[in-house]
Amino acid sequence: LEEYGLEQSMSHRGQCWDNAVMERFFGALKSEWMPAEGYETEAQAQLDIQAYLMRYNLKRLHSYNGYETPLAMEKKLKVAA
């Protein structure tokens, strides 16, 4: 991290919010999208996970965003700025 000029984000004990967004994302990826038996090849996994990312950003509604997609919310924020 130091080599790239980045500062590691660490919460204090009992403050787990730093990782909550990523834990939710990867939890949904694993439980809603990935096949239980896994993938036969790395290439197959890459294509399928890319498809999930497109769905997640373009079609999946998020309650935190007022039930809008991440892309729609990002566009709104750019217009408001």
Q: What is the residue extent of each domain of the chain?
A: 19-80
* CB 1, CB 7: distance < 8 Å: yes
The whole-angstrom distance between residue 21's C-alpha and the CA centroid of its chain comes to 7
Q: What is the pLDDT of residue 14?
A: 67
Q: Hey, what amino acid is at 6?
A: L
Q: The tokens of 50 are what?
A: 């890319």
Give the pLDDT confidence of 17-66 residue by residue, as tens digits: 667 778 888 998 999 899 999 999 999 999 999 999 888 878 888 787 88
15 pLDDT band, cuts 50/70/90, is: low
Q: What angle do CA 17, 70, 43 make, to 5 degrees?
A: 90
Q: Which helix (H) or strand (E) holds 68?
A: none
